[in-house]
Amino acid sequence: MPLSSETSSPRDGARTGLLLVNLGTPDAPTPAAVRRYLAEFLSDPRVVELPRALWWPVLHGPVLMLRPREAARRYASVWTPEGSPLLAWSRRQQAALAAELAARGHEVEVALGMRYGSPSLGQELDGLRARGCGRILALPLYPQYSASTTATVFDALAQRMGRLRDQPELRMVRQFHDDPGYIGALAARVRDFWRRNGRGRLLVLSFHGLPQRSVRLGDPYHGQCLETARLLAQRLELAEGEVMVTFQSRFGAAEWLQPYTEPTLQALARDGVAEADVFCPGFVADCIETLEEIAQQARAAFLRAGGRELRYIAALNDSPEWIGALADMALRNLQGWPTRPAGAVAPGAGN
């Protein structure tokens, strides 16, 4: 058979793909949908590090019997016409990133997968392969690395890859907690909020919590949260006493990273802090943890404790600074792989 000199077809693995990954969300704000989502999420041994013999009766007993109804009510309070806020904002990030890469002259297939729920990580990986991507960069949208978040993405990808005979090349971004573009996008978000709304007496940086046991076992998450906070405070030129770090979303009876966000805000209000701003740097897209837990629950608790105003600063979402930083990050990690159309000349190349 004669060898062809024609360019590769879209399905022969010549294309490059980028798979954005976020945590996931129920398909609807209903107890049944929340139950399905929680069953998958809380069954992950990296998320709940307890012996199955101990955890399984609790999960399939009181947790999945009682928690979905209350959680569904919370989801319903922030649900949008586009569905879950997390999915809606992640879709916008996917579209904006694809447009930004194309505007820079790069031809990259950009997909979005959720670690739990839909669109599923495995299906999106298969979709990229079906569109001819033989090289795929996975970019978990978790700035700070944790075994219960980032590592679970690697687990899921490895499990899917283990079923394939013809595997694509695969890379994965581990973390970007100190990435200058990410820090710059955070600072731009805060400055823009202050420019439009004025500035509170204190900036509270609330990160998702983690069991203390995880840190003792060697998880780097806590240190990376503190480093993000330090770099952001430095970029905003904040003095000591103008910013503090707290941790939210505690689950279960075990000790988690402290100080806890809501009790801290209540204590601040009782101590005479009338106004405070809360920002959640670990969440790059608004979701139930930011919109309901902080902007609704924590705000109400702060006001009940005597505070006058608690203002939530929106997550990065699809802000231009964040999309630009995300594109820079993607291109750094895609180096060496083909991302330009055949015959295209890279910027700065000779005639």
Question: Annotated binding site for Fe(2+), which residues?
Answer: 208, 289
What 3-state class would DSSP assign to 11? coil
Please give the backbone phi and psi of residue 276, each rounded to the nearest 5 degrees, phi first: -150, 150
Instruction: Count the Cβ atoms, other than its own, within 10 Å of residue 130.
Output: 10
Beta-bridge partner residues of 138: 19, 172
130 dihedral zone (left: phi>0; alpha: psi -120 to 50; beta): alpha
Which residue intervals of 287-343 are DSSP H helices?
A: 288-291, 299-304, 320-333
Nearest alpha-carbon partner for 15 in 122, 103, 101, 109: 109
Largest Cα–Cα distance of the chain, in whole Å?
83
What 3-state class would DSSP assign to 295? helix
Binding residues: 208, 289
Which residue intervals of the chain are DSSP H helices?
A: 31-41, 52-58, 64-76, 85-103, 121-130, 150-161, 180-197, 212-216, 221-236, 261-270, 288-291, 299-304, 320-333
